Structures are given as structure tokens and as C-alpha cells.
Structure 1
């Protein structure tokens, strides 16, 4: 990689948190574009000890241990020159010198200094780079990541397993084997988890490619007529809760899910597991349509110490909360849920071709006319770009959450070839590939 001037990014832009840092370093490692990030996580707060027992919240979190662990992995793989790579640092320079195709063919192991670091967010940061590794056809890159698997303010393992990775495989052909070897929680006693993944890179000389939504088998013979893209055909459930809640929560969820969806969806309890501690409660619901759309909403909860709520009443409350959030997500009529949308921007930007995962923050859902674009809801006739309006990318923009808007901005800075249209609802990827 020929050295170029570092691209300056203000870490306080948009959502101003760790997502900006992870995505910027991931794309820097893929493209070889050096970056310098200032004001890292400037929009976040952190606690600073005062005296023996007190603490105060101060603005500007700097790098966390999970960021440092992921960046060190990418720095080692690309032989990058770095400055500011330490926990708490507000400035980072990352200058890669080797492309993904030079990644050594050996298993990787990532162990952050803090058990509280999210293993899932570390995985997010390294996945784009691993997709372009040069391995023998049919072989994958194995990575063992330590840290939290069920943590606050983070992607959780079950969401990755049942929402993110199935969507990446269905819409981009990205294949990742995964195994949860040990759970790590941010609730209850400190516990570090471990996740194993095997990432299958794209073929040498090829790009990630957006795929059209599949037409469900039997649709032509369905006597009910064309099926609604937003009909809920089934709901997957993951429960990792104290043993006393397992049975009442399954009962409550089965009742509440059946009560809110007129389509009477099939309910599949994919994970039913004792969390091993009263403070550890995790519930994930994933609604799936007959045309391949899926929406996930999860609840990570820790009851107050000394809580005397009986299992039935607690299960009822948790079920109502989780189902209410899922219904709101489905009713928004977006192509993906609000948390998945920003996680897909990176892959849309790297891919060769158009893709769309439209949803609107005002509750109108994916109503933009993007027929013919891979991933878009509705029929998929071919289009040639009629009615598309290209967006300016000098600041976070478009529909969706601030995380999504910021992800688009970062991608546009690191990938000049990417184009965004119609408030970011349609993306023409840069078509990154390595010979």
C-alpha cells in the first residue's frame, strides 16, 4: 500500500460514539487509507473517581478496551503504524501498510484487557477486513474472541446469531460459522465470555454482492393470494433468564405473541437457557416474514437488588415489554429493524451493486419507491435508476437513526466510490475487491 495523507475524522460527528471509530478503522484496514480520528467518543460520558467513594461524570469517553483490542488486531494484520492506541485516548492515528489479502493463514485470538469489553462489537470491527482475506477456496478464517456476549449498550450474541448474520448471508452471501463457547455478562458477577467464528471470505478478485430477496416457495399456489411482505409468519425466541422465569416467561410470550399478530405466527423457542443468576435476564424476539424480512428486538434486564416480584408477574411484565417493542418495529414497515439498519451500511458501501434497507424514523417504514433494488421490500422488477436523487455526504444524512446517518457519513469519507440516493435509502456500493 502506498502511503497517503491521513484522512481527518472528527469523532464527535453525528452519534459521536464507538460506532464511528469501529467503522472508520475497519474501512481503513480494508482500503489502506490512513486515518486520524480526533475527539473520540466526545459525545459519551465516563465516570472519574473522586476521593475514596465518589465519582463524577465527565464528557468524552475516549477509546474503550474493546476498541483497543479490535484495533490492535487490525493493526497487527495490516502492520499498521498507530499513535494513541490506548484506553482513554481521545485521538488515534491508524496507518495500515498491508491489505487484507496478506493476512497470515492462521487462527486469530482477541483478548481485551477488560472482561467487560463486548466481544460482539470487536467482531463487528474485524468482520469487514476478514471478508477480503486471501485463503484457499472453501476455507475460512477462524477467530476466537473473548469478552462480553450479553452486555448493555451493545450487540448481543443471540441478536448476531439470529438477526445480523442470517441477514448478511441472505442479502450479501456473507457466510460466518459461529459458536458460543462461554457467556460473558455485564449484569451480576463479572464474567468473561468466549465466541468462536469462522469467516468465509469472498473469492479472490470478487466483491461482496447484494442479493435479491427470495420468493417464498409455494407463493404461486397460495390460495390466500399474494402474501404481505410485512406479514409475520413466525417468531423466533431466545430466552436466557433465571431458572424460575423460564416456564412462566415461555407461557407469557406464547400468549402475548399470539394475541397481537392476526396471522397466528409459528413460535419457535430457539434458545431456552438458565442464566445462572437473578440479575441476568435476556430476551430476544425475531419476527420473520414469508418473503425473507426479519425484525429483532431484545431486552437485557437486571432487576433491582432485593426485588420481591413473583416469577409470574415478572414474566408478564417482561413479555409485555418485549412484544410491545416487536409490534412497534413490525408496524414501522421497514425492510429491517432500527438496530440492524446501521450495521448493514458498511456492507452496502463495500458491495458491488445497489442495495436498500429502507426505514423511516417517523414511523412511515420503508415506503420509498426502491423496487428492483436488492433488499428492498415489495416486488423486484429491474430498474435503471429513474427517480433516484444523489445525496451530499459532507455530514451525517438521510433517513434512519443517528447511528445510521453517521455510518453513511463515515463510509462516504473512506470509500469515495460509494453513492447514496434518496435520503440514503438506496446505496450504490464501491465494489471493493482484491486481485
Structure 2
């Protein structure tokens, strides 16, 4: 049994999610102590419990310590069974992070699956649905499987209530190289809001427009959702390239001026555009699992985050594969799987 100290590395829920996915694929049981030991509220939260429950259901696993607040988890995997599944977080906890837990096991299964997830689709502690759909899943589909995701209903923090539907056609993961993003095809900025004054979204978008002055005027838009899908507001900044799309988001937060959120998001997008790396920090974190499971491949990224380094460490413990990091000119880093 693999033993993991959950306070090491980034010390959050990613350790739990990646360990569950890799356990189902490799057949290796694991034990995590000090679950989410680096967080202000350590232990399992509702979304982590749902993620482990989902992994247990699709993989016929036995689990000990699975409750909100638990600081120790023991997971013994069974056989992954593809099919139709429906999981509800019950809060605004991220549906995308639950999907991250079960996607790779179902991608490598022997038949298609359909997964419905209910909970948060847009909250500040996870990539929004648009990132999953436009940035992450296209990379998975280039590797062989076919995965499509549809947003049925937005679920903003703290209310939740969102719904996404995912169709998975499995296949072996082929190794690919993602070195350059290719030519830029377009940019877009959108403020999406519901149940809040219009001027909040307007001020957010105006600040982004000011900081991204080189973007065309018609690249910016405001979208209002039905009031029962909120309240909430998010700024989505998108840069499309021939080989990858980067999505940067800024979530509305109580007490934080809209302009400040937009300024931070625009600075992150400008930093990515000015670099030459293929993957931004969030994409680099999420593609570690599929690249390691493909037994090869490489990609370039910006400065490695603690999340990415932790994902590499967990993957190494379950698979024995090595991942090499090489710093390149211009602050770019090469990540090589072997």
C-alpha cells in the first residue's frame, strides 16, 4: 500500500483526486494521512468526499475515512466499470474537480461512459467549465480518446446548483509533444453575471479592456444569465492559438472591487501571451496525469507551480515513471515524460 502525507507539496485536494485516479488505473491501494494538511481548514471537504465517492462507485473500491473533516483516507480499488453515472456535490464544490478524479480511469476503460455532475461550475478555487471544455479536453482528444462536455446550467459559488454532462469514448492514450502554441487565431473577453447589478460586470469588463488595449473592441462582451442561476459574476479571458487555447478567469468576490479582479486576470493573460510556452500553469497541472499514463510525450510551460510538482510526485509513486524538467530561454520550461 502506498502511503502519502497529505500535507506535503501543495498539500490540498489535488493529492486526493490524483491518488484516487491513479489507484483505479494501477490497482495500487493507498493511505493518505494529514489530508489537506496545508489548508486553513484541513481534512476532506464536501467536494472531496464526492470525488472519492465517485471514484469508489466507478471503480468498485473500498474506502475508509470517507467523511467531511476526515484527516485520513484509505482507498482500495476494484475494477473500473464504464457506464452512466450521476454525481451531485450538494454544494458549490467544483464539478470540474470531481470530473478530474474519474476522467482518466473512464478514458482507459473498455466501453463508453456518460457522466452527469451537479454542483459548482464557476468558483474561485477551481478552473471554470470553459477552461475544461476549451483548454483541457482538446488536449485529451488529441491523445486518442473523445471526450465532450456540455454546460447545462451555471453554478456559481456559494449557491452552486450547476450541471454539466460529459460523454466519454475511451481509447489508449497516445504520447504527444506540445511544444509551441502556434499562431494566434483570436482573443475574447466576456463578463458573465446573474443576480447582481449590471454595472459590476460592466466595470469588470471596462478594466480588462483598458489593460488589454491591444485587443479589438469587438472582442469584449457582457452576458447576463437567468437570475435563478446566481448570484455570481466571472470574467473570462480567452486567447486562441492554432494548437492550444488559454482561458484565464476572475471570479467575483464579496468585498473585492470588480476592477481589481479584472486587473489581476488581465495581468495573468498578458503574462501568458508574452511568454512562448504552450501551457499555462493550470493546464500544466492537469495534463501531468494523461501524459504520464501515455508513457511519453513532452510539453512546454511557464514557471512550474507547486501544484504541478505535486502532481508529478504523486504520479511517480504510483507508476514509477520519471518526469524531467528543463529550463529554457525566456523563462519557459520543458516537461518531458519517460
Sort the TM-score into its range (normalised by shorter chain): 0.7 to 0.9
Partner of 2:285: 342
Is 1:93 paired with 2:74? yes
Higher strand share: 2
Partner of 1:331: 274
Is contact 2:205-2:220 (8 Å) kept?
no
SS at match of 2:86: strand
**Residue-by-residue CA offset, 1:385-405 (whole Å, 9 max, x unaligned):** xxxxxxxxxxxxxxx010010
SS at match of 2:287: helix
- Alignment partner for residue 325 of structure 2, among 397, 422, 425? 422
Is contact 2:279-2:299 (8 Å) kept?
no
Partner of 2:168: 199
Is contact 2:191-2:202 (8 Å) kept?
no
Is contact 2:301-2:334 (8 Å) kept?
yes
Partner of 1:237: 189
**Residue-by-residue CA offset, 1:264-318 (whole Å, 9 max, x unaligned):** 698386x83437388521011121234x13332110013439x8xxxxxx5x665
Partner of 2:308: 404
Is contact 1:241-1:274 (8 Å) kept?
yes
Is contact 1:233-1:289 (8 Å) kept?
yes
Is contact 2:30-2:76 (8 Å) kept?
yes
Structure 2 CA distance for aligned equivalents of residues 230 and 179 of structure 1: 27
- Which aligned pairs between 1:42-121 and structure 2 lie closer than 5 A? 42-46=37-41, 61-98=42-79, 100=80, 103-104=81-82, 106-112=83-89, 114-121=90-97
Corresponding pairs, count: 328
Compute the displacement of 1:200 (Å).
1.4
* 1:411–1:229 Cα change, 3 Å: closer
Larger Rg: 1
Partner of 1:176: 147
Structure 2 CA distance for aligned equivalents of residues 287 and 324 of structure 1: 13
Compute the displacement of 1:161 (Å).
1.7
Where in structure 1 are there 5+ consecutive unaligned residues? 1-5, 47-60, 215-227, 308-313, 362-399, 430-435
Partner of 2:252: 301
TM-score (normalizing by structure 1): 0.68
* 1:289–1:77 Cα change, 3 Å: closer
**Residue-by-residue CA offset, 1:140-197 (whole Å, 9 max, x unaligned):** 3100111111112112112212222223324x2342121112221214xx23211111
* 1:166–1:267 Cα change, 3 Å: farther
Where in structure 2 are there 5+ consecutive unaligned residues? 327-332
Structure 2 CA distance for aligned equivalents of residues 278 and 178 of structure 1: 21
Is contact 2:178-2:298 (8 Å) kept?
no
TM-score (normalizing by structure 2): 0.86
- Alignment partner for residue 210 of structure 1, among 147, 167, 175? 175
Structure 2 CA distance for aligned equivalents of residues 250 and 318 of structure 1: 10
* 1:211–1:273 Cα change, 3 Å: farther
Is contact 2:135-2:244 (8 Å) kept?
no
Which one is further off, 238-247 or 338-347? 238-247
Compute the displacement of 1:252 (Å).
6.1
Is 1:29 paired with 2:24? yes
